[in-house]
Copies of this chain bind each other. A is one copy, B any other.
Amino acid sequence: MSKTTLEQRIRSDIEARIRSGALRPGDRIPFEHELVAAYGCARATVSKAVEALAKAGLVERRRKAGTFVAHPHVQSAVLAVPDLEKLIAARGEAYRWTLIEQCRASASDLETGDIPSPALRIDGVHHADGVPLALEMRLISLSAVPLAASQPFGERSPGAWLLEQVPWTEARHEIGAANPTPEEAAALDMPTSGACLEVRRWTWQSGAPVTYVRQLFPGGRYHLMAEFTPGA
């Protein structure tokens, strides 16, 4: 017996033919009315199945012409950017946040973060089992989050607090590698010659800047993972 829906079956049938190479990029897949005949179902059902493949980028639909296997262009992948506190806890390690500095953001800070004045600047370190995992430099727009001004970030990291205050934001990430400055290297307990993973994130809510954060991870202690399974 099967617990899968008919729509899923149609979809995975076609997907398997693409993944196996039986259908190659540029090939036309059966018309909707042909699939309707083949599976003996309503057109809405096959339409939903094929539409899902199209949204996943596996096929391309063209009016009057039909539906074709797409040419894979850029590899895209879903990147998980977890909250560090939860990530460390999930790994079974002890989490600790230490505040370095909490002050008004300077003009040059605001420029790099593209955050309007007034804004708060918070520097600190995330530790896993006592080892520095990430150095964080964050700006928070006080016009978007006024409560941040009176919030003490000595005990709790601003990321988790912000998530509660300002849910469902849009964000942009830039991921690169950089060497730490002497001060950063000291905070991370690493040499300045060591490589760091640098993640910078700009966050908006309804188009208004909320926060900017730059996180520096010592090379060997952390890596990001991304899965790419279109159609999953």
Q: Which residues of A does B touch, CB under 8 Å?
A: 16, 18-21, 24-25, 44, 58, 69, 71-83, 86, 163, 166-179, 192-198, 201, 205-206, 217-220, 222-229
Given contacts A75-B201, A177-B217, 12 further A-B contacts (CB under 8 A): A19-B205, A19-B206, A25-B168, A58-B168, A74-B81, A75-B80, A79-B226, A170-B228, A174-B225, A175-B224, A176-B223, A177-B219
Q: Nearest Cβ distance between residue A89 and chain B, in whole angstroms?
A: 13
Question: What B residues does A175 contact at CB under 8 A?
Answer: 79, 175, 197, 223-226
B79 & A77 in contact (Cβ 8 Å cutoff)? yes
A179 & B219 in contact (Cβ 8 Å cutoff)? yes
B194 & A179 in contact (Cβ 8 Å cutoff)? yes
A224 & B71 in contact (Cβ 8 Å cutoff)? no
Enumerate 19 A-B pairs (CB-CB under 8 Å) in ascending A order: A19-B170, A20-B206, A21-B205, A24-B167, A58-B168, A71-B167, A74-B81, A75-B81, A75-B171, A77-B171, A78-B79, A81-B226, A170-B228, A173-B225, A173-B226, A176-B223, A176-B224, A177-B196, A197-B197
Question: What B residues does A74 contact at CB under 8 A?
Answer: 80-83, 86
Question: Which single member of B173, B177, B222 contacts A228 (CB below 8 Å)?
Answer: B173
Question: Which single member of B76, B178, B217 contacts A80 (CB below 8 Å)?
Answer: B76
A229 & B72 in contact (Cβ 8 Å cutoff)? no
Residue of A19, A194, A196 contacting most chain B CB atoms (<10 Å): A19
Question: Which single member of B21, B176, B226 contacts A222 (CB below 8 Å)?
Answer: B176
Given contacts A179-B195, A228-B173, contact A83 B75 (CB under 8 A): yes
Nearest-neighbor residue (CB-CB) of A219 within chain B? B177
Q: Nearest Cβ distance between residue A199 and chain B, in whole angstroms?
A: 9
A225 & B172 in contact (Cβ 8 Å cutoff)? yes
Cα A69 to Cα B167 with chains together (Å): 10
Cα A16 to Cα B173 with chains together (Å): 22
Residue of A83, A86, A176, A177 contacting most chain B CB atoms (<10 Å): A177
Cα A192 to Cα B195 with chains together (Å): 10
Cα A174 to Cα B58 with chains together (Å): 23
A171 & B228 in contact (Cβ 8 Å cutoff)? yes
